[in-house]
Amino acid sequence: MQDETVKSQVADTKAMSNVAALDRFYTMLKNDPERAVYGPGPVTKAAEMGAIDELLITDGLFRSSSVGVRKRYVALVEEVQATSNVFIFSTQHVSGEQLQNLAGIAATLKFPCPDLDDEYALTEQEALGSSDDEDRDGTAGSSELDDNFLAGI
């Protein structure tokens, strides 16, 4: 793989398969919205249900400043990869930028999951566990400190 032409062709092939997967996601979202989810909460819950057919995730999610968040995304990918297709998108590519606009993670489902988006509309921290602040220094997040401070005023 030292030949630059070969590397370029392999990269183009991967990018094309990612573009095709993103197109399938958008088609599913339009035609059968109960079989397409995006965002950390709904995708995590769909994975727990074994409902994911194709997982689309950006490489940027693996570069979180929180080690705990990175580990959870790696675990999610490994869990889904055992039974489904996983597409990791580069945020440097147009398709990765589009996926990043959907919170960086989306999935097409094997079966309909009505109201999954509404029922499990969680924040990234709720879906993936503790806050970034807790992972770094073992203390509560700044919003909790702000709430406690404001309550004392």
- The total number of structural domains in the chain stands at 1
Q: How far is CA 56 from the centre of its chain?
A: 7
H-only helix segments in 35-123: 40-48, 67-81, 94-100, 116-119
The model carries a pTM of: 0.72
Q: Is the pLDDT of residue 131 over 50?
A: no
Residue 60 and residue 103: Cα distance in Å, rounded?
10
Can you give the CATH number for the domain in which 142 is found? 3.30.1330.30
**Which comes out higher in pLDDT, residue 63 or 115?**
63
pLDDT (tens digit, 9 = 90+) per residue, 6-51? 656 656 677 889 999 999 999 999 999 999 999 999 999 999 999 9
Q: How confident is the model at residue 143 (pLDDT cuts 50, 70, 90)?
A: very low
What pLDDT does residue 7 have? 59
Q: Is the pLDDT of residue 52 over 50?
A: yes
Work out the end-to-end distance of the chain between its first and last CA atoms, rounded to an integer number of angstroms.
64
pLDDT (tens digit, 9 = 90+) per residue, 64-103? 899 998 999 999 999 999 999 999 999 998 999 999 999 9
Note down the domain range covering 18.
4-151
